[in-house]
Amino acid sequence: MFRTAELQRKLPKEDYHQQVPQLREELLLMQMELRKADFPVVVVFAGVDGAGKSETVNKLHEWMDSRWLVARAFGEPSDEERDRPEYWRYWRELPPRGRMALFLSSWYSMPILDHVYGHIGLAEFDERLERIKNFEKTLADDGALILKFWMHLSKDAQKERLRKLEKNPLLHWRISKRDWQHWELYEQFIGAAERTLMKTSTGLAPWKIVEGYDERYRSVAVATIIRDAIRFRLDEPKTPAAGGNGDARGSKPAADAAGLPPVTVLSQLDSGKSLEKEVYNEKLKHYQARLNQLQRAARERKISTILVFEGWDAAGKGGSIRRITAALDARDYQVIQIAAPTDEEAAHNYLWRFWRHIPRAGRVTIYDRSWYGRVLVERIEGFARTREWQRAYGEINDFEAQLVERGIVLMKFWLHITAEEQLRRFQEREQIAYKAWKLTDEDWRNRERWGDYELAVNDMVERTSTRQAPWMLIEANDKRHARIEVLRTLCQRLEAALAGGPQNP
């Protein structure tokens, strides 16, 4: 695979000085256009030590307008990073649309090194490469242009390069013992690299192998590939989206195939359950005390919790959340209200703003509405294109799998009320001055599409209720019943997690 990158290609000085001015100009012009474009550019550098990865990044900074260019290198994770799923640190640093980021020692480093050092076998190595593929696919599907450079040197060339650096009294600091250790492992390293490139070179995120032997050659080669790839994307005619924005036909859930009125998971719920006030008060105190105890234990054990609340308008999400937070230490939790995204958030993949708020080990994040907006309101109202909300199920499952793998207790509540009960609550809100603000025209509009939403919820539950992260469908016509159910299942789940269920490695 790397044979063609062991040719010791050199770019003569004269050719270099002839090519570079025009290349720089084109890069800069392209960069100016990119700023107005609706996609980000992610450039990954990996490869053999000494093949000039960081030198190339420096060169790009020199040639381009560095205000719109960001380089990120990843060393040992910080404590805050270690407390969260592995990819949290990468999500944090993703560039917004119109910007370009250069990643060094990125998501490829650890899997390759872990495999070379023998910490993980082939099966786990493949799994981690699969995770990378999913990650890059999520970004690329959302429009990100992904370029990956493998900077290569032959074993002899690497030795030569390391020796040369080592002998230079002014540059020998660049070479550490670790570099020589890696050199010893050259064959294993190349083996792992080949597998990596084969498995993760996709149409959406292809690898380019660049020979790192000659500085002039590799700089011009990388810059040219970047220029051409971005230029190509910028000049691409905008194809009308498969489903089109706001394509109601595509997003409208289909009725039952047999033409019968559809039966959804929601229509199966019993809406008659209720609780007497006295029973409620007693149970509330009981479960809150229990929850407090469990959360303190979970904090001790560094088990984090993520709670997702979705449900019909006026189903009582806020009230349920407050019954939970009242039992917790204010330092342990945060409630994230999902409203309109900030411009920074809107410039990123839709999952970015949820990744941001993943709790540290031992803490709780409660999302009041969540990433499921993608397959509910965005689907129904046509804010997301058909292909966007359709692929969201897979993206969400992958996201949640990472949370669960990290040992996070993830619970998803759908608070269900009947259409009649919603109407009653809307009318009540209209009557009571301090509740009227809660009721908007949008609520009435959403209500008109109750059937569509019900089918969308059904699809959502069908496709994202996994064993590890099941949906809890809570009958909420009676608020007291709903609140206790939420608390009860939460306590139950935390107990299981503390007892060391499978979801907590």
Interacting residue ranges for a copy of itself, rule: CB under 8 A: 21-22, 24-25, 28-29, 32, 54, 57-58, 61-63, 65-67, 71, 73-75, 78-80, 104-105, 169-171, 173-174, 285-286, 288-289, 292-293, 296, 318, 322, 325-326, 329-332, 335, 337, 339, 342-344, 360, 368, 432-434, 437-438
Cα–Cα dist 86/303, whole Å: 16
Between the alpha carbon of residue 145 and those of residues 75, 239, 442, the distances in Å are: 24, 16, 36
Task: Report, in Å, the least distance between residue 6 CB and a copy of itself.
Answer: 26
Nearer to a copy of itself (CB atom), residue 198 or residue 326: 326
* Structure-block tokens of residue 123: 């099966």
* Structure-block tokens of residue 11: 């770019």
What is the pairing mode between strands 207-211 and 145-152?
parallel
Residue found under tokens 């690497």: 158
Task: Report, in Å, the least distance between residue 112 CB and a copy of itself.
Answer: 17
Give the DSSP H/E element, type plus range, for residue 411: strand 409-416
Task: Report, in Å, the least distance between residue 319 CB and a copy of itself.
Answer: 8
Task: Report, in Å, the least distance between residue 217 CB and a copy of itself.
Answer: 19
Nearer to a copy of itself (CB atom), residue 105 or residue 202: 105
Half-sphere exposure of 122 (CA within 13 A, CB side): 5
Cα–Cα dist 12/70, whole Å: 30
Nearer to a copy of itself (CB atom), residue 2 or residue 74: 74
Cross-sheet strand order for the sheet of 145-152: 69-73, 100-104, 41-47, 145-152, 207-211
Task: Report, in Å, the least distance between residue 332 CB and a copy of itself.
Answer: 8
Nearer to a copy of itself (CB atom), residue 278 or residue 343: 343
Nearer to a copy of itself (CB atom), residue 57 or residue 392: 57
Nearer to a copy of itself (CB atom), residue 60 or residue 153: 60
Nearer to a copy of itself (CB atom), residue 5 or residue 30: 30
Q: Which string of DSSP letters, residue by residue, matches 190-253? A: HHHHHHHHHHH--SSS-EEEEE-S-HHHHHHHHHHHHHHHHHHHHHS--PPPSS-TT-HHHHSP
Task: Report, in Å, the least distance between residue 354 CB and a copy of itself.
Answer: 16
Task: Report, in Å, the least distance between residue 327 CB and a copy of itself.
Answer: 9
Half-sphere exposure of 483 (CA within 13 A, CB side): 27
Cα 356 from chain centre? 9
Task: Report, in Å, the least distance between residue 466 CB and a copy of itself.
Answer: 29
Is residue 354 within 8 Å of residue 306, measured between CB atoms? no
- Residue type at 267 in one-letter notation: S
Nearer to a copy of itself (CB atom), residue 26 or residue 214: 26
